Amino acid sequence: MMPIGIFGGTFDPIHFGHMRTAFEMLQALRLAEVRFIPAGAPPLRDSPLADARLRLAMVRAAIDGQAGFVVDDREVRREGPSYTVLTLAELRREHSDRSLCLIVGMDAFLGLPKWHQWRELLELAHLVVAHRPGWRAPSMGPLGELLVDRGTGRSGDLHERRAGCIYIHAVTQLEISSTEVRKLIAAGRDPRYLMPDGVREIIEQTGCYRSKR
Ligand code: ATP
């Protein structure tokens, strides 16, 4: 059975940087699917501007019709902080024999030691790290050591084992971030070509990133 890709994020809003990364991972790593899991209450950052239901609706609109892309709303439904380790533990229970691949950008990977029970993550899933512009893989510290221990250059390991490997995969570099998208919209500019039109329409209709000034 092919591995399941898990792509968590705040998605405030989702953009083509997320979607292209997920698509390239789906194809290159021969994943059965990529599951987009919007965080209900992301524990390590300020509250998102758009509420969880709206961010979920934007993710649904973004992936609509794309084979292999799936939305999973469990973190939006769950009370309390959206700890990835809880989500992975649930998915592990649901898919005891499957390989699970948690997809993160390099910036998110570098912040991993701040995540709740971060060392448990690799007991539950593989970590697949996407290169992002301006970020480099760590060579020292706990993550540098973890890479020496768990890093693999073989994507086949993601199929042969259920969890425990770190695989770094270069994806097309699209220098788009949700922060910049929100700023651009607040400044009255149009986010066309940074995200799917369905997402733009929701942003336009709800005015969720409009400047409050
Ligand atoms: P913000 O600017 O609000 O921090 P973001 O654009 O980084 O948001 P998130 O929802 O925080 O988006 O990111 C979810 C995941 O997608 C993270 O693992 C992040 O590293 C990754 N990611 C975000 N933007 C890109 C991009 N342009 N290319 C590749 N990965 C990305």
pLDDT tens digits along 101-156: 999 999 999 999 999 999 999 999 999 999 876 777 888 899 999 999 999 999 99
Residues 32, 69 contacting (CB under 8 angstroms): no
pLDDT of 183: 97
Compute the distance from residue 178 Cα to the ligand 1 centre, in Å: 7
For tokens 């509420």, the residue is: 51
pLDDT of res. 152: 97
Nearest ligand 1 atom, CA 39: 10
pLDDT value, residue 37:
98
**Which ligand 1 atom sits nearest the alpha carbon of residue 131?**
29
Residue 177 Cα, ligand 1 centroid: separation in angstroms? 6
At which residue do the structure tokens 């934007």 appear?
Answer: 58
How far is Cα 45 from Cα 47, in angstroms, rounded to an integer? Answer: 6
Residue partners of 2: CB distance under 8 A and separation at least 6: 30, 31, 32, 99, 159
At 14, is the secondary structure helix, strand, or coil?
A: coil
Spatial distance between the Cα atoms of 198 and 62, rounded to a whole number of angstroms: 6
Cα 116 to middle of ligand 1, angstroms: 19
CA distance linking residue 25 with residue 27, whole number of Å: 5
Q: Which residues lie across from 166 on neighbouring strands?
A: 127, 151
pTM of structure: 0.95
Query: Which residue minimizes the CA distance to atom 8 of ligand 1?
Result: 178
Q: For the chain, what's the residue count?
A: 213
In this structure, which residue's CA is closest to atom 30 in ligand 1?
105
- CA-nearest residue for atom 7, ligand 1, is 177
Tokens of 9: 């994020």
Which residues are near ligand 1 (CB < 6 Å)? Answer: 9-12, 17-18, 21, 104-105, 107-108, 130, 132, 174, 176-179
Question: What is the distance between the alpha carbons of residues 33 and 36, in angstroms, rounded to a whole number?
Answer: 10
- From the centroid of its chain, how far is CA 38? 8
| Phi, psi (degrees; rounded to nearest 5) at 156 | -60, -30
pLDDT band at 1 (very low <50, low <70, confident <90, very high): confident
Give 106 Cα–ligand 1 centroid separation in angstroms: 9
Asked whether the beta carbons of 104 and 25 are under 8 A apart, the reply is no
Percent of the chain surpassing pLDDT 70: 99
